[in-house]
Amino acid sequence: MPDQLLTSLTPIPFDAQNSPAETVFAAPAALAQPGFDELFGKALLPMWIFDTETLKFLAVNDAAIERYGWSSAQFLAMTADQVHPASDLPTFLEYRRRVEFGTAGGLSTDCDWQHLTKSGEIVAVETAWQVVHFAGRNAIHVTIIDRTEQRQAEAENRELAHILNLATDAIVVCNLEREVLFWNQGATKIYGWTPEEAAGKKVHELFKVEMETVLKCMSGLLEKGDWSAEMNHVRKDGGKAVVNTRWTLARDEETKQPKAVLLISTDISEAKKFESQILRAQRLESLGTLASGIAHDLNNILSPILMATGIMRQSLGPEDQKMLQIIESSAERGAGIVKQVLTFARGAEGERVLLQPKHLITEMTKVMMQTFPKNIDIQTNFSAEPWLLIGDATQLHQVLLNLCVNARDAMGPKGGILRVACENMEVDEHLASMNPGSKLGPHVCFSVTDTGEGMTPEVMEKIFDPFFTTKAEGKGTGLGLATVIGIVKGHKGFITLQSQVGVGTTFKVFFPANREAKTEEKKTEDAALLRGKGELVLVVDDEAPIREAIVATLEANNYHCYTAEDGTDALALYFERRSAIAVVVTDLHMGMMDGISLVRSLRKLDPNVKVIVSSGHIQKENLTILNSLGVKTFLEKPYTAEKLLRSVKAMLAPSDEPVKVG
């Protein structure tokens, strides 16, 4: 066999299962006939040779005949372009030209080739091309690697990865050294790490789990094949995530030896928080029962002390009078604490009468004007015709007084602005869903807002607990807000709290109102006018209950919704569907990207974007920035469905059809 022929058909080692980075065929001067059938015709990989000018097949081997279905005679009557789909022809012709002129050759990994078989099957292939001299003419020798099964497997893997990414649970695969091999989008949402950031890292380093715990987990895993526990993990941003995690050992199908670990973790942080709230409510109930008994005994002790001081004052000299005054003042202070304890323990008591909220605020303002420091700017605002409510005037006065005193103390020596307001509000299913325990119907809403230090989430979590106080020792009893919530619940109302460190705090207290039923007719008419026409609204809020309540309200009124839990997700969604999205409703205070940053970014994408911003506490500085960005519509939390619908309708209405936002 001539050496020239051997050189022409023997490539540098070529692995049909795993493509090499590059495969090169030596260029021969001609193909000799002796041994041709042995090297070409009987080769395991499909091969053919075609004329560079006419594209006519000049030779085809048995493997190609078997794979593609045409006989040798049929192949030799065809041209090479006939095995390519029409969509591939331009690429095929261009690549043939490049091979002919020496600018391409070897394994064509830069082209995602598809071939047609006689039956019409589309085959995914990789090919190696080489210019040869065959039968007295210039030709191209092509070797084919069938990648159909590999491409199908890759597609199935991508589909599986896509399905796993739809899961809300964190799904992670790691090797036995606990290095991450797969990290789904659910894991990203829970922990904050992207798949690229997590790849190759140790799972215990990502979760901030102690090595002792990891070793215990791996020991149980290798012994039993699975392991589960409730664990405290740490997110990328340092926040805590409580998860139910399940580790399963994956084994090789043939050898049964361990080869990987599957981790599935469910975020139960919200569930644990809700459980904590239930336990706290039960604890408060128990404390109330205990406090009631203690308060009763304390009253029995304090009553004779106060009576005795009055009698002793008549017979004691001037020097003893001073000490007597201390005893009397202390007893009176104790009696005041007992009264607060009883109010907290028993709820609201006393005579219930029809009250005008405006009068309560007016009386409260007079007290504050006389007693609060002059560096506190007291502002009041109430509806022109506030609804009436039924309640104990003394106890409602106590609610407002406690909230205003707390607001005063929160602002400290530097002072600030204290706003007391009252408005009519219809509590519907939307608003009730955001405030468990609330009732549907008309309410009077009192709000007390300060520009003080604000509260951390940890303080907000405990603020209504009895005996909890942030004041210095001896400065507070910790019963003020416990008394407030006791009175509010006793009046079948509810209370909301919004606070931001360094910005301030807003308390809103809702009491059931008494109003005439004739306004119901107007409400029905308005509801019909406020329905949408199938417009698409992007809802952005990092609180899932609020987000779900907004979506439920809008969809019930003929709107369609997209949702995002932070500004980053919202921006990506708007970029993809901006032509379809009519209005964006976004919260102001969010984690990844706040409302102001989101509005600024949206304006760069679309100067005409329509945005509604909502918040429980909008500072004047933020208001100025948002106004400069063209935002004119704001919703103050908590808001009713009617206010939400009016705001959306106003944004969508043409300039000649104004809709009042109420």
- Flag whether pLDDT at 659 surpasses 50: no
Q: What is the pTM of this model?
A: 0.36
End-to-end Cα spacing for the chain: 96
Residue 612 reports pLDDT greater than 90:
yes
Least confident of 127-136, 138-147, 227-236, 293-302: 293-302
Better-predicted residue by pLDDT, 478 or 632:
632
pLDDT score recorded for residue 443: 92
CB 274, CB 281: distance < 8 Å:
no
Instruction: Give the list of residues 6+ apart from residue 124 with CB closer than 8 angstroms, or none.
Output: 112, 113, 114, 146, 147, 148, 150, 151
Question: Structure tokens of 271?
Answer: 């569930």
pLDDT of residue 418: 94
User: Quick one: average pLDDT of 224-235?
Assistant: 85
CATH 3.30.750.24 fits 353-514, yes or no: no
The per-residue pLDDT for range 297-317, each reduced to its tens digit, is 666 566 556 556 655 766 677
Residue 65 has pLDDT above 90, yes or no: yes
Q: Which residue has the higher pLDDT, 182 or 298?
A: 182
Q: Give the torsion sign (CA, 320, 325, 326, 327).
A: positive
Q: What is the predicted pLDDT for the residue at 287?
A: 61
**Tens of pLDDT, residues 563-605:** 999 899 999 999 989 889 999 999 888 877 889 999 999 999 9
List strand residue ranges (DSSP E) for 273-429, in order. Answer: 353-355, 376-382, 388-391, 416-427
Mean pLDDT is highest, among 236-240, 457-461, 519-523, 647-651, for 647-651
| Mean pLDDT along residues 156-163 | 70
Q: Percentage of the chain surpassing pLDDT 90?
A: 20
Decide if pLDDT at 537 tops 90. yes
Contact 47, 144 (CB under 8 A): yes
Name the more confident of 334 and 50.
50
> What is the CATH architecture of 3-150?
2-Layer Sandwich (3.30)
Same CATH topology for 3-150 and 167-267? yes
Q: Domain map of the chain by residue range? A: 3-150, 167-267, 274-332, 353-514, 530-652
Q: What is the pLDDT of residue 313?
A: 66
| pLDDT over threshold 80, residue 100 | yes
Please determine, for residue 33, whether its predicted confidence score (pLDDT) is greater than 70. no
Averaged over 109-133, what is the pLDDT?
84
- Over the range 287-321, which residues count as b (16 or more CB within 10 Å of their CB) and which as e? bbeebeeebeebeeebeeeeeebeeeeeeeeeeee
CB 616 within 8 A of CB 637: yes
**CATH for 530-652, options being 3.90.180.10, 1.10.1060.10, 3.40.50.2300, 3.40.50.11540:** 3.40.50.2300
| Domain 167-267 indexed as CATH 3.40.50.2300 | no
The residue with tokens 């609804």 is: 387
Half-sphere exposure of 310 (CA within 13 A, CB side): 6
Task: Compute how many other C-beta atoms are within 10 angstroms of the C-beta atom of residue 379.
Answer: 11
- Least confident interval from 51-55, 98-102, 277-281, 419-423: 277-281
Q: How does the average pLDDT of the chain come out, rounded?
A: 78
Q: Among 390-399, 434-443, 532-541, 611-620, whose mean pLDDT is lowest?
A: 611-620
